[in-house]
Chains A and B, each alone.
Chain A
Amino acid sequence: MDYAYQWNWVMFGYGVAYAALVVFASSIAVRVTRARRRLGEET
């Protein structure tokens, strides 16, 4: 029950999951930076 195709699916799943986590965390970081910059301009 140890077929290579199974690892392909597992790696695809983990690739999707970790890429999505990095993108989501980065989106928070980018928005925090932008908001801080805007506040610096406003005040």
Chain B
Amino acid sequence: MATLVQKKSPVWPWIVMAIAGLVTFVAAMTVPPDAVQGQLSRIMYVHVPSAWLAYLSFGVTMIASGIYLWKRDLEWDRRAHASAEIGVFFTGLAIALGMIWGKSTWGTWWTWDARLTLTAIMFFVYLGYLALRRTTDDMDARAKRAAVMGILAIVQIPLVHFSVIWWQTLHQPPSIIKPEGPDMDTVMVLTLLTAVASFTVMYIAMMVKRVELARLEDAVLIAEQTNTGPAAGEAVVAPDLSGGA
């Protein structure tokens, strides 16, 4: 258990997260507005990085799950778990920001469009992954089940990403990663890339803290399972049948 618990909890990830958030905010607020959408385009600089982090997080969960199944090292299971929780958070954030952007540009909070629907399904599937992890206290069984689901669930990422190409959607098709190159102004592309890079740094800092938490949670579980405190019934004394003789 000693190896699971660091003596000091690192503070630098909180500072890195704050700086990354500040860099994104300053970049998004100083870039010129879009010619068509005006100021509303600024929502893109947090919506797109959130969606990117959802992909990245679930990709890391898949890779860490695969390595766990190969090496049976619980540290990889903790990394998969940490990344999945961060991914669920950023998927929810991408949906919320997309709804705000949708209401202000499309005039509706929600529509059953392929991209939106598949993203919502992905959100609930990974919530299911987190729920699955709570079904047992057996760390090896939990890690094995979660790893299988962490690998299988990745199939949703290409479905979500290419849904705007495969189906007719209200959601716009890709603006940057496309064969003919980005169809955005250079300063907007650079600002978006800055926001994506800042969010990626934020993800790394979050992972450091979330993996620390996963180690601590496992250490608590091990301590509870090995703690041989008084068992129920120990206080019951056998009746004296000698008749007081």
Contacts and interface: CB of A to CB of B under 8 A. Distances in A.
B49 to A, nearest CB: 10
Interface string B214-237: 001101100110010000000000
Interface hub of B9, B35, B50, B100 (most chain A Cβ within 10 A): B100
A28 B206 contact: yes
Contacts of B25: 14, 18
Contacts of B38: 1-3, 6
B104 interface: yes
Contact of B220 (A3, A13, A16, A39): A39
A43 B101 CA distance: 50
A17 B206 contact: no
Contact of A17 (B39, B50, B224): B50
Nearest to A43: B223
Given A16-B100, A24-B89, A39-B216, A10 B21 contact: no
A32 B9 contact: yes
Given A2-B33, A2-B39, A14-B25, A38 B100 contact: no
B165 interface: no
B210 A28 contact: yes
Interface string A17-36: 11011001100110110011
The range of chain A's interface size is: 20 to 34
A14 B29 CA distance: 10
Interface hub of B14, B39, B47, B206 (most chain A Cβ within 10 A): B39
26 contacts: A1-B38, A2-B38, A2-B39, A3-B39, A6-B38, A6-B39, A9-B104, A14-B42, A14-B46, A17-B46, A20-B89, A20-B93, A20-B96, A21-B93, A25-B17, A25-B209, A28-B206, A28-B209, A28-B213, A29-B209, A31-B213, A32-B9, A32-B212, A32-B216, A35-B216, A39-B219
Chain A to chain B: the 6 pairs with minimum beta-carbon distance, closest first = A35-B216, A42-B223, A6-B39, A1-B38, A9-B104, A13-B43
Given A16-B100, A20-B92, 7 more contacts: A1-B33, A13-B97, A13-B100, A17-B50, A24-B89, A25-B206, A28-B213
Interface of B: 5, 9, 14, 17, 21, 25, 28, 33, 35-36, 38-40, 42-43, 46-47, 50, 89, 92-93, 96-97, 100-101, 103-104, 202, 206, 209-210, 212-213, 216-217, 219-220, 223-224, 227
Interface of A: 1-3, 6-7, 9-10, 12-14, 16-18, 20-21, 24-25, 28-29, 31-32, 35-36, 38-39, 42-43
